[in-house]
Amino acid sequence: MKPVEIAKGIYDVGVIDWTIRDFHGYSTHMGTSYNAFLVVGEKIVLIDTVKKNFADQLLRNIARIVDPAKIDVVISNHTEMDHSGALPYIMGKVGKEKPVYCSSMGQKNLSRHFSETFNFQAIKEGEDLVLGDKTFSFIETRMLHWPDSMFTYLKEDKILFSSDAFGQHYAGHEQFDDVVGEKIMSHAKKYFANILLLYAPLILKLIDKVVGMGLEINMLCPDHGVLWRNPSTIIDAYARWSRQEDLENKAVVVYDTMWHSTELMALAIADGLHLEGVDVRPMKLREYDRSDIMTEICDAKAVVVGSPTLNNGIFPTVADFLTYMKGLKPQNKIAAAFGSFGWSGESVKILEQELADMKFDLITPGLKHQYVPDDDALEKCVAFGRQIAAVIKETRR
């Protein structure tokens, strides 16, 4: 991708990663981008870099606009390696003596990341950095989603460079939200559900803080995906997702199966939910990536989890998913468990304990069946689904 001028004298010089399909356990069906920004005024400023193996491409993009050696300052909003991996290579071209501004935690973390010594300069929240005709200010965003994270605000142009917040794993030549259209929101929701859901309370505080500061934001520029020329669209969505309220009358039936008995139960339960007018998503764990399942769970009222009993426990894929979901801490969910078994039948009890540990509201005793469910057993599963649907429709969350 050639560099794109996103505002007068301000360029996205980042790169597109078209082929990545797994981003530390998150499925990236549409690839991603690593956005970096060059501000060309009386002083030249580079905001963030890219993943190490794209360093040459970043350098070429910069060189199409200015000689990299003319860059005066680098700002690092976040030390994660998809944004700082190319930093040593780029500083070798920019000049190792040039200042790299970052948060205080960023200074510590960057120093630990790289064996080479650079001129890291910690900058405080609210402190203005005047560089020629441009003024940069900084907002610390600790644990959104690393301890070092911060935003950079360019006052004259009213642009907020938001690092990993408000991003999407989306590869495309479209540069802006209003060019991609509404479809970008599904990618933004997936990004939120799998990376930032855990930090929902902090996000609400950050939004309140930014609103309280009275920042006028003409453009919101994350480090992944498209840039937002309509910032309120994604800010409002983050506030809604973070509150985890006004959830949809939707249930996600998450399961895996050995000899299809648990699967027959799952589909019958889904039928019961559907018959009562509830939007239902049956999702088999070996067919759907866990990050896609979490995206559906994000705005659903109910999570129904099923597993066969294996070795007196639950199926490995189900255990993996529950661990993943527990770490993201979704809230305000109702839940139920089900499963088939051959002779011991512990799975449902284990599932219920896991769901209770996540503070989900278990609305009915779990349903289990020995061996292959017959017509009578499947009717019980349909009734189980109807029972869950009734609670979903009467629950305000």
The dihedrals phi and psi of 295, each to the nearest 5 degrees, come to -65, -40
Tokens of 91: 């500083």
Would you call 169 a catalytic residue per the annotation? no
Catalytic pick among 24, 42, 182, 376: 24
Would you call 224 a catalytic residue per the annotation? yes
Alpha-helical runs (H) found in 338-374: 347-357
Is the separation of the CB atoms in 166 and 220 below 8 Å?
yes
Is the separation of the CB atoms in 220 and 228 below 8 Å?
yes
Which 3 state secondary structure label does DSSP give 393? helix
Query: Which of 191, 393, 201 is CA-nearest to residue 302?
Result: 393
Please tell me the distance from the alpha carbon of residue 305 to that of residue 154, in angstroms, as a whole number. 47
Would you call 263 a catalytic residue per the annotation? no
Q: Which amino acid is at 118?
A: F
Tokens of 50: 């890219």
Please tell me the distance from the alpha carbon of residue 235 to that of residue 154, in angstroms, as a whole number. 18
Catalytic pick among 145, 169, 187, 369: 145
Would you call 89 a catalytic residue per the annotation? no
Catalytic pick among 48, 82, 157, 354: 82
Would you call 191 a catalytic residue per the annotation? yes
Catalytic pick among 83, 169, 187, 224: 224
Is the separation of the CB atoms in 319 and 308 below 8 Å?
no
Would you call 369 a catalytic residue per the annotation? no
Catalytic pick among 164, 276, 292, 296: 164
Catalytic pick among 78, 83, 169, 187: 78
Catalytic pick among 26, 101, 153, 191: 191
Tokens of 360: 């989900």
Would you call 394 a catalytic residue per the annotation? no
Query: Which of 68, 229, 194, 41 is CA-nearest to residue 131?
Result: 41
Q: Assign 3-state DSSP to the chain and report helix, strand, coil percentages, each to 5.
A: 40, 25, 35
How many other CB atoms sit within 10 Å of the CB of residue 99? 15
Catalytic pick among 12, 17, 80, 289: 80
Query: Parallel, antiparallel, or unpaired: how do β-strands 159-163 and 219-222 relate?
Result: parallel
Would you call 34 a catalytic residue per the annotation? no
Which 3 state secondary structure label does DSSP give 83? helix
Please tell me the distance from the alpha carbon of residue 123 to that of residue 133, in angstroms, as a whole number. 19
Catalytic residue ranges:
24, 78, 80, 82, 145, 164, 191, 224
